[in-house]
Amino acid sequence: MSDYYSVPKGEVMSLAWGDGNADVVFGGVSWSGHHADLLACQDSDLRIAELESRLAGERATRSLNRSQLAESNRKVYYGVMAHPEFGDDCPLLAQMGYTRRSDQSSGLTRPALLQLPPTGSLN
């Protein structure tokens, strides 16, 4: 029986069984024992729902923090570029993981294009 099916089926069974027949034992299981198992499952589901909600909140906070860091990174990068003592060719840019102006290729030479196979049908 599927986990998604067990709890709803257990709820229906417990209601029907407890409605006037709670003292009868079926398959070695009393109604109170069955109902306790059902309540344990429902409590677990509630705890998991709460934890998932808290996790979603933490993920939203993390996303906000990362967005703020990205904005801060951008401001620092452009601040270094515009600073009169540093600029776009300073060693600090390379240390930060960016390419200095003097290390950039001119773009005047390009690699030869690869020979592409002919397209179309051979039939």
List pLDDT tens digits, range 54-84.
Answer: 999 999 999 999 999 999 999 999 999 999 9
Ranges of the chain whose pLDDT falls below 50: none
Q: Are 98 and 109 in contact (CB under 8 A)?
A: no
- What predicted TM-score, i.e. pTM, was given to this entire model? 0.61
Domain boundaries, the chain: 3-100
Positive or negative: CA dihedral 66, 70, 72, 104: positive
Q: How far apart are CA 86 and CA 104, in angstroms?
A: 17
CA distances to 8, 68, 89, 100 from 72, rounded to whole Å, are: 50, 6, 21, 20
Q: How far apart are CA 41 and CA 45, in angstroms?
A: 6
Kindly report the three-state secondary structure assignment for every residue of 18-59. Answer: HCCCCCCCECCECHHHHHHHHHHHHHHHHHHHHHHHHHHHHH
Look at residue 3 in the predicted model and tell me its pLDDT: 75
